């Protein structure tokens, strides 16, 4: 089984022995899997003001960890 997107050499070799590339690829690198992954629509946030501040999140986690140790 191929474990990634096959190179042209592997595809050419499989074609010479009348084998389909799809039969040798991991299911995660198939077109069907790609379509299934991106079939859902993700709505964007309305503005940067709604983004979470990474510093605030990190600070809250550090505070929680300190309180748990004491």
Inside any domain, residue 27: yes
pLDDT band for position 18 (cuts 50, 70, 90): very high
Inside any domain, residue 51: no
Gap between the Cα atoms of 6 and 41, Å rounded: 29
CA atoms within 13 A on the CB side of 13: 7
Q: Which two tokens stand for residue 48?
A: 């940067």
Inside any domain, residue 57: no
pLDDT of residue 16: 93
Q: How far is CA 51 from the centre of its chain?
A: 22
Gap between the Cα atoms of 18 and 24, Å rounded: 12
Is pTM beyond 0.85? Reply is: no
Q: What pLDDT digit, counting tens, does each position of 20-63 carry?
A: 887 887 888 778 888 898 888 777 777 777 776 666 666 666 67
pLDDT of residue 21: 81
Q: Which residue has the higher pLDDT, 16 or 65?
A: 16
| Domains contained in the chain, number | 1
């Amino acid at each position: 089984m191929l474990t990634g997107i096959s190179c042209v050499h592997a595809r050419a070799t499989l074609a010479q022995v009348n084998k389909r590339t799809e039969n040798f690829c991991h299911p995660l690198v198939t077109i069907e899997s790609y379509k299934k992954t991106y079939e859902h629509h993700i709505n964007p946030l309305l503005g940067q003001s709604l983004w979470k501040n990474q510093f605030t999140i990190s600070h809250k986690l550090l505070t929680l960890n300190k309180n748990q140790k004491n």
